Amino acid sequence: MSEFDKLCKEFEKIDPATYIALLAAKSRDVLAGMAAVTGDLVSAVESYVDIVMMAVASDGKLSKEEFALIAPGLAAAVGQPITYEDAKKIMNKSKLDSRDNKAAVDALVDLVGSVSPEIKDDIVILTMVICAADGRISGKEKAWIKQLIRE
């Protein structure tokens, strides 16, 4: 088993309270790092949202556990609570996991490559937390995470 696979297994074992704490801490760090690279908070938030949404969509499924992690941020972004069913519809319509979205993925991977190694590590951890929320990091999710690591 590779070191990456061992790390994935460790993330899959994390309890829900730790997921939430890690998500909050890494989100703050990633937003600050992205703001330093992009030069403004709005662009940083847009990049952060892209990272979160692509992590959720990387396996083509929105699990209830993933939704529980991102629901507060979605509600804040749209100004009202969003149901799990509505979030699934949004994810399906967005086609974030499709080949048509390759340019956006490539741009995001390039942006990740331009941040400091510490922020890149935080982005990878943030992504792993989101992907492992349902208790398993799938093969498609691992491929997405590896794409971020390689850049």
Residue 48 pLDDT greater than 90, yes or no: no
Residue with the bigger pLDDT between 90 and 132: it is 132
CB 73 within 8 A of CB 52: yes
Residue with the bigger pLDDT between 140 and 46: it is 140
Distance CA 133, CA 16 (A): 8
Query: DSSP strand E in 91-145: where?
Result: none
Q: Please report, rounded to a whole number, the percentage of residues in the chain having pLDDT higher than 70.
A: 89
Distance CA 111, CA 88 (A): 27
Distance CA 145, CA 112 (A): 11
Residue 73 pLDDT greater than 80, yes or no: no
pLDDT band at 148 (very low <50, low <70, confident <90, very high): confident
Residue with the bigger pLDDT between 137 and 71: it is 137
pLDDT band at 116 (very low <50, low <70, confident <90, very high): confident
How high is the pLDDT of residue 138?
Answer: 94
Total number of residues shown for the chain? 151
- Average confidence (pLDDT) over 63-68: 88
